[in-house]
Amino acid sequence: LAKTTQPISMDSYEGQEVNITCSHNNIATNDYITWYQQFPSQGPRFIIQGYKTKVTNEVASLFIPADRKSSTLSLPRVSLSDTAVYYCLVGDRSNYGQNFVFGPGTRLSVLP
Amino acid sequence: KAGVTQTPRYLIKTRGQQVTLSCSPISGHRSVSWYQQTPGQGLQFLFEYFSETQRNKGNFPGRFSGRQFSNSRSEMNVSTLELGDSALYLCASSLGQGGWFFGPGTRLTVL
């Protein structure tokens, strides 16, 4: 069962770049990494997904090193509205079949 | 395109009762998965359905069950409710591997 670790919380200021790292030492060959953002009382919102190297979309970048044992979500120029909990999700297989394992989440606080 | 919808949004039940939660996926999405979110355990995977078949299952007791209909809509049932079942239940849909799009959740309170 893949286990992921993330920092519990991070603080940043508006306009700064924020990097959140997720460790997933037991990632399997076919697993992929997905990051989500969640606001209170809402469902998680898809941010970005990747398998290896670097992926970029209009809101974030995802860096995955060659060994794929970690991944880093990069949020450029954060604003107050980026204050949320960020989760990394790694595909995993268990005895019951594919079991998506969420990380514990990183609570990002963006300060003015 | 409408997002994932879940009904009801809030629900209060008592111990021993059963409950059914409903999820309508994004149009065209054939995969639906369910999650339980609690402050103590975080987000935990319950099960996944594809084309009316349960394809994956998390580590939850048999009191938790689900099904998917031919129109991809899904229901989740919890029987013999326990206090510990109080949680936010999230449904998500997907076109394929990864890229799950979540609904707003159903907040279940068991008294």
Report the mean per-residue pLDDT for chain B.
92
Query: What is the distance in angstroms between the Cα of B60 and the nearest Cα belonging to chain A?
Result: 10
How many angstroms separate the CA of residue A1 from the nearest CA in chain B? 11
B65 or A1, which is more confident?
B65
pLDDT over 50 at A96, yes or no: no
As a whole number of angstroms, the distance between CA B59 and CA A1 comes to 11
pLDDT of residue B46: 93
Q: How confident is the model at residue B15 (pLDDT cuts 50, 70, 90)?
A: very high
Interface of B with A (CB under 8 A): 4, 33, 35, 42-45, 48, 55-59, 88, 90, 92, 97-105, 107
Closest alpha carbon within chain A to B87:
A41
Supply the pLDDT for residue A100.
Answer: 67
Pairwise pLDDT comparison (A21 vs A94), residue with the higher score: A21
Please report which confidence band the pLDDT of residue B71 belongs to, taking 50, 70 and 90 as the band edges. very high
Q: Poorest-confidence range of A18-27, B78-87, B93-102?
A: B93-102
Q: Nearest-CA neighbor of A106 among A4, A1, A31, A26?
A: A4
What would the pLDDT profile of A36-56 be if each residue is shown by its tens digit?
999 988 899 989 988 889 999
Distances (CA, A) of B97 to A19, A30, A50, A79, B30: 25, 11, 11, 31, 11
A72 CA: distance to closest CA in chain B (Å): 17
Average pLDDT value over all residues in chain A: 87
pLDDT of residue A99: 61
Residue A81 reports pLDDT greater than 80: yes
CB B13 within 8 Å of CB B111: yes
- Tokens linked to B108: 């279940």
pLDDT tier, A32 (very low <50, low <70, confident <90, very high otherwise) = confident
Q: What was the pLDDT predicted at B97?
A: 59
Rounded average pLDDT over A93-108: 66
